[in-house]
Amino acid sequence: MRYISTRGGTEPATFSGVLIDALAPDGGLYLPQTWPEATDWSGETSMASAAAGVLHLFAGQELPLDEAQELTEAAFASFRHPDVAPLKRLGDDHLLELFHGPTLAFKDVALQIIARLFERHLKARGGHLNVVVATSGDTGGAAVAALAGRENLSITVLHPHERISKVQRRFMTTTGAGNVLNLAVEGTFDDCQRIVKEMFADRAFTKEVRLGGVNSINWARVAAQASYYITSCAQLGGTAHFSVPTGNFGDVFAGYVAKKLGAPVGELIVAVNENDILDRTLRTGIYEKRGVTPTSSPSMDIEIASNFERLLFEAAGRDAGEVKRAMADLSAYGSFALESDVLDRIRDGFRSYKASEADVAELMAEVLESHGELIDPHTAIGLHAARKRREDGLSGPIVTLATAHPAKFPEAVQAATGQAPQLPGSEEELFREEERFDILPASTDAIKSAIRQHALLLF
């Protein structure tokens, strides 16, 4: 299996190459050169086995199946639930709980795997890697939990200053590990992501510090996340639709990948908060930036949905020219227009719904009252969209991805429900440990020099 860039400017790369590169050298995102033949996943109810199967499919002999299985079992050993991602029934709704990992969000699934893929790669090839990650709250914590203290790896996390929850921040800033650097950027998540992409675009810098990435720009992230779509369909015994709380479009794109691999994934519902750029795009065909508003679901306060580029490439018949045109328009004018045939192809598999802040609070309260369960604001947005879609006539099971534990957003959950969510287990220690982070302007040069200094201390 080889990988190509959505912008068409790179030689086909190997799975390891893509794992280490993260972003393609031409600024595009990697995708398999061709999709593998569809597989029958109907018996695949185990997360470790599904994830191993997917990784082996995409890596081929670079990661034999038995080694992949060992790796995914080790990755999920720290999860609090024996099923890793249990599927739960709530009246007419299905919730896929993806928050039983070390940092209580779905990001743990792929990050625990990627850390082990990196370690395996560095053991075989030598050298070190300075990982950089942009976060709107959850990827950062999951990456820190997965990489803190690992040999030959360092991690720098950029989060938007004062735009994430305290619990999210503490997951990143309290490890005390020497290989972790936290930078609070005076800007939005989109600024953090832009800075990461600008650093990757500077090939001299990338080589100098051996830059690595674990955001969903990294193909291995998206591939690993396809596994829970596969296990959900297997557990439900056939076709399932999915409602996905969406920001950077990585998770919902993983559903598209699972479908490409042969899993009976039905419709993919893009559930968004008041930062509704994706909903507007699916409705009008115009992707247009209007600025980001802070909401009670901060992880989804995103305007540049990085992985939409992968879908655009697919829907445009893999025309890299079309992708380059759209991305150039986005940076020059803050918007781009989809051709009508491209929009039709996207609408063929995807629908979108937006939840207001009032919808989110109302639904959190209703779920507590009707089912005695607390859900987090991101999950509430997914559930809201699933219910709307059912009202609009979609039949068959709709699985809502429960992407975070309610205790990551205690203020929002308590304000909506009157109940304070409890952190499971020893995470309460989070509030005893001292935080370590520096505040920096949203300047790529300032971040680069912080990374250089950190790397010099370590390697």
Ligand X SMILES: Cc1ncc(COP(=O)(O)O)c(C=O)c1O
Residues of the shown chain interacting with ligand X in the complex, contacts defined by CB under 6 A: 105, 136-138, 216, 245-252, 299-300, 378, 403-404
Q: Toward ligand LJ64HWYM, which CB reaches closer, 53 or 140?
A: 140
Q: Which of residues 224-263 bind ligand LJ64HWYM (CB under 6 A)?
A: 247-248, 250
Q: At what angle are helices 320-333 and 308-315 packed, to 10 degrees?
A: 140
CB 254, min distance to ligand LJ64HWYM, A:
10
Q: Toward ligand LJ64HWYM, which CB reaches closer, 247 or 382?
A: 247
In angstroms, the CA 313 to CA 279 distance is 19
In angstroms, the CA 392 to CA 367 distance is 21
Residue 270, phi-psi category: left (phi > 0), alpha (psi -120 to 50), beta (remainder)? beta
Task: Check if the beta carbon of residue 33 is closer than 8 Å to that of residue 4.
Answer: yes
Residue 246 partner contact from ligand X, ligand LJ64HWYM, none using kind-dependent CB cut-offs of 5 to 8 Å: ligand X
Residue 258 partner contact from ligand LJ64HWYM, ligand X, none using kind-dependent CB cut-offs of 5 to 8 Å: none
Q: Is 6 in the site for ligand LJ64HWYM (CB under 6 A)?
A: no
In angstroms, the CA 180 to CA 104 distance is 19
Residue 399, helix vs strand vs coil: strand
Task: Check if the beta carbon of residue 82 is closer than 8 Å to that of residue 69.
Answer: no
Closest CA to 278 of 339, 216, 354, 336: 354
Q: Which of residues 116-135 bind ligand LJ64HWYM (CB under 6 A)?
A: 135
Q: Which of residues 197-216 bind ligand LJ64HWYM (CB under 6 A)?
A: 215-216
Number of residues this chain uses to bind ligand LJ64HWYM (CB under 6 A): 13
Give the residue, chosen from 156, 175, 206, 299, that forms a contact with ligand LJ64HWYM under the rule CB under 6 A. Answer: 299
In angstroms, the CA 337 to CA 330 distance is 9
CB 409, min distance to ligand X, A:
9
CB 170, min distance to ligand X, A:
15
Q: Toward ligand X, which CB reaches closer, 159 or 378?
A: 378
In angstroms, the CA 336 to CA 359 distance is 29
Beta bridge partners of 404: 105
Choose, from 107, 259, 408, 448, the residue flagged as catalytic: 107
Q: What is the per-residue binding string for ligand LJ64HWYM in 73-112, x denoting contact by CB under 6 A?
A: ----------------------------------------
Residue bearing tokens 């800075």: 195
In the residue annotation, 166 being an active-site residue is answered as: no
In angstroms, the CA 276 to CA 310 distance is 19
Question: What positions carry a catalytic annotation?
Answer: 107
Binding site for ligand LJ64HWYM (CB under 6 A): 135-140, 215-216, 247-248, 250, 299, 306
